[in-house]
């Protein structure tokens, strides 16, 4: 295989990395004066789309969002920066890792607000899933991210299998509820 063919089959992580920054406006705040989480999720979905589309060179859709933990609130007037990269590729899907940071532009203090993982699927003009290029991993960080994506996918499959069991009986699990703030009232 010549070098041009190999470049079409595999791409470096850096080739589709995206970075965006936006100043947070009062119009994006919630009733508590902090930036609304839904607004941040919308921006994250946009950067995930851009990153996945850049990697696959096609339209992409969001298949799932994994682990959205809001670690620190974002204030009006802070500069939010989102960094996205393709951490994993399957046949037609990609996991895009996104890191969200907010900077107080007066003090220069930067805080990590959120990290999340969006699974994106490449589509053709007819809506059919299409194959995506593989990844060329260039450093230990990229290898670590790929391996962690594999682990998250494995856990996701396990959870799906566990909750789809046909013979699931709540009575077998009632002992687990002891110590939780819950009452069971079966009729």
Phi/psi for 108 (5° steps) reads: 80, 0
Using DSSP bridges, classify how beta strands 110-123 and 93-103 pair: parallel, antiparallel or unpaired.
Answer: antiparallel
Domain total in the chain: 1
Annotate 81-100 with b (16+ C-beta within 10 A) or e (fewer). bbbbbbbbbeebbbbbbbbb
Does residue 19 sit within a domain? yes
23 vs 106: CA distance, rounded Å: 13
With beta carbons less than 8 A apart as the criterion, state whether 101 and 79 touch.
no
Percent of the chain exceeding pLDDT 70 equals 94
Does residue 187 sit within a domain? no
Residues in the chain, total: 187
pLDDT of 176 reads: 87
Q: Is the pLDDT of residue 180 over 60?
A: yes
Higher pLDDT, 122 or 163: 122
Q: What is the mean pLDDT of the chain?
A: 92
Does residue 168 sit within a domain? no
Does residue 186 sit within a domain? no
Q: Is the pLDDT of residue 1 over 60?
A: no
- The residues that bridge with 42 in the sheet, in sequence order, are none
- Give residue-wise pLDDT tens across range 132-159: 999 999 999 999 999 999 999 999 888 8
pLDDT of 4 reads: 52
Q: Which residues of the chain form beta strands (DSSP E)?
A: 10-12, 18-23, 59-66, 79-89, 93-103, 110-123, 134-136
Alpha helices in 57-139 (DSSP H): none
Give, in order, the Cα–Cα distances in Å from 152 to each of 52, 92, 96, 142, 156.
Answer: 18, 17, 13, 15, 6
Give, in order, the Cα–Cα distances in Å from 130 to each of 63, 133, 159, 173.
Answer: 14, 10, 27, 42
Does residue 177 sit within a domain? no
Query: Which domain, by its residues, includes 12?
Result: 3-136
The model's pTM: 0.85
Does residue 7 sit within a domain? yes
pLDDT of 162 reads: 76
Q: Is the pLDDT of residue 5 over 60?
A: no
Q: Where is average pLDDT lowest: 35-44, 47-56, 135-144, 161-170?
A: 161-170
CATH of the domain at 75: 3.10.129.10
Confidence class for position 104, pLDDT limits 50, 70, 90:
very high
Q: Where is average pLDDT lowest: 3-12, 56-65, 121-130, 133-142?
A: 3-12
Using DSSP bridges, classify how beta strands 18-23 and 79-89 pair: parallel, antiparallel or unpaired.
Answer: antiparallel
């Amino acid at each position: 295989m010549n070098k041009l063919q190999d470049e079409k089959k595999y791409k470096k992580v850096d080739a589709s990395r995206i970075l965006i920054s936006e100043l947070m406006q009062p119009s994006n705040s919630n009733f508590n004066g902090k930036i609304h989480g839904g607004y941040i999720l919308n921006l994250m979905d946009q950067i995930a789309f851009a990153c996945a589309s850049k990697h696959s060179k096609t339209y992409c859709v969001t298949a799932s969002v994994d682990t959205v933990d809001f670690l620190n609130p974002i204030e009006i007037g802070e500069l939010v920066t989102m960094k996205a990269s393709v951490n994993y590729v399957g046949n037609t899907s990609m996991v895009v890792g996104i890191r969200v940071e907010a900077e107080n532009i007066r003090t220069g203090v930067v805080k990590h607000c959120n990290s999340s993982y969006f699974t994106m699927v490449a589509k053709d003009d007819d809506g059919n899933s299409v194959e995506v290029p593989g990844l060329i991993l260039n450093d230990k960080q990229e290898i670590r991210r790929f391996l962690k994506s594999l682990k998250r996918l494995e856990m996701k499959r396990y959870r799906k299998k566990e909750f789809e069991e046909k013979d699931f009986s709540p009575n077998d699990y009632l002992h687990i509820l002891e110590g939780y703030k819950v009452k069971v009232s079966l009729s």
